[in-house]
Structures are given as C-alpha cells and as structure tokens.
Amino acid sequence: FLPYLSGERSPWMDPSARGGWLGLGLGDTRGTLMRAAFEGVAFSLRAGLDAIRANVGGGIGAMRLAGGGSIDPRWRQLLADALQTELHAVDCPNAATRGAALLGGFAAGHWHAGDLASLAPCATLAATPREDAALAGRHARFIDLYGRVRSWF
C-alpha cells in the first residue's frame, strides 16, 4: 500500500504522489488490505526517518509516541519493527494540546530551550524493535514500488 492519498512530503517531496494498493489477488482479505495499509504508513514514516538518519550521520536510539494510535500495542510494535527504533509512549492523554502550549510559550519567550526538558511529559517504554526478515523484505519492496510508479503521478 502506498499511503500518499494527498501527496508525499518526506522524503520525496512529491505533492502529486498518490496512493493505493498494488499486487492484490483474489485470495487477499480485508485483513490483508488493513495490514498493508498499516505497513505502508509505517514504511512511509521509515522513509522520512531514514532521511533524517542520513543527515544527522547516526542512529536514533529512541522515539516518543503520542495520540490515539500510540495506545494499540500491535501498532506500536509494527512501528518499532519498521522504524528499527525503541518507542516510548508519552504519559499524557492530551499530548498534542500540551505540545502546542509548550511551543506557544517558547515562541512568546515565556519558556526557554533549557526549560523544555523539565516541561515535557514522561514516557513509558512501549515497544522495542525486533528483527523481522519478512517485514524488511516488504519494506524494500515498498521503497522500490514508489520509484517504479512515480512517473504515473
């Protein structure tokens, strides 16, 4: 599944990119389509993260998750496996609102860069990456697929 329903912003910066399922067969089920959709989103996030990794010249040891999607353990594990990084769930039910308030306070000069670490909510380990050769193969196919169909857009 290519998840570019409204274009792709990172890392390919292609606003005309479009999404969809490719390679479907008669034996595919709703579950197959759903899994492909989740993997497509995870692989798209991985493509952006890989671009960041390439620019910072090193690994990213851990990341934080927030929001409704961070609650489901299956999604957290798929993300950890696809991103190949440890994930910590933010212990804050309204993290987006809190983050906006922190950014607003920072922009207004109320808080300074040194204050942000103490204001950030705590996080709990949610998932550690596992080696999954099949998932790695599907990720490679995902990256190849975008390159093959980009001229269609």
Give the closest residue to 85 by CA, choosing from 116, 140, 126, 57.
126
Amino acid at 97: T
Please write the tens of the pLDDT for every residue from 122-153: 899 999 999 999 999 999 999 999 999 999 98
Task: In whole angstroms, give the CA distance from residue 33 to residue 21.
Answer: 8
Domain ranges in the chain are: 30-152
Residue 45 in 3-state DSSP? Answer: helix
Mean pLDDT over each residue of the chain, to the nearest integer: 92
What architecture is domain 30-152?
Answer: 2-Layer Sandwich (3.30)
Do residues 47 and 3 lie in contact, with contact meaning Cβ atoms separated by under 8 Å? no
Do residues 82 and 42 lie in contact, with contact meaning Cβ atoms separated by under 8 Å? yes
Residue 89 has pLDDT above 90, yes or no: yes
What confidence category does residue 60 fall into, taking pLDDT thresholds of 50, 70 and 90? confident
In this prediction, residue 68 carries a pLDDT of: 78
Range ranked top by mean pLDDT from 33-37, 49-53, 107-111, 121-125: 33-37
Residue 103 has pLDDT above 80, yes or no: yes
Count of alpha carbons within 13 angstroms of residue 54, beta-carbon side: 7
